[in-house]
Amino acid sequence: MNKEELKARTKKFALRVINLTNALPNTKAGNVISSQLLRSGTSVGANYRAVCLSKSKADFISKLGIVVEEADESAFWMELIIESKLIPEFLINNLLNETYEIVAIMVSSRKSAMKNK
């Protein structure tokens, strides 16, 4: 997968996160989780774009680390939504799996970059 495809994929991910957060109930828990997930989920695509503009290998590795952290945090919030039964699991599983895939792709890219440093 090239960088343009990953840019599109992470942007689509952000849009799906927006839709999920809009579907959360208007409760204390729903609002807190919605805010946290919206921040981390949309940050994945924004930070990946920054990765594509990195100025050095060290900068690239550092910025990829941020993408990994934000994607992993997004997975945490989705897992919490499922476990707290705010939204049925079957409605989130596809997006959660996409989150895990994005984390795996970014971790792999970061490891490769660190080896080739």
* Domain range summary for the chain, segments of one domain joined by +: 3-115
103 has a pLDDT exceeding 90: yes
Using one digit for the tens of pLDDT, what is the confidence trace for 2-53? Answer: 999 999 999 999 999 999 999 999 999 999 999 999 999 999 999 999 999 9
Using one digit for the tens of pLDDT, what is the confidence trace for 40-83? Answer: 999 999 999 999 999 999 999 999 999 999 999 999 999 999 99
- Whole-number pLDDT of residue 45: 97
**CA–CA distance, 92 with 76 (Å, rounded to integer):** 12
Site of tokens 């952000």: 14
- 3-115: CATH superfamily: 23S rRNA-intervening sequence (1.20.1440.60)
DSSP annotation of 117 reads: -
Please list, in sequence order, all residues whose beta carbon lies within 8 angstroms of the beta carbon of residue 85, skipping any fewer than 6 positions away: none
117 has a pLDDT exceeding 90: no
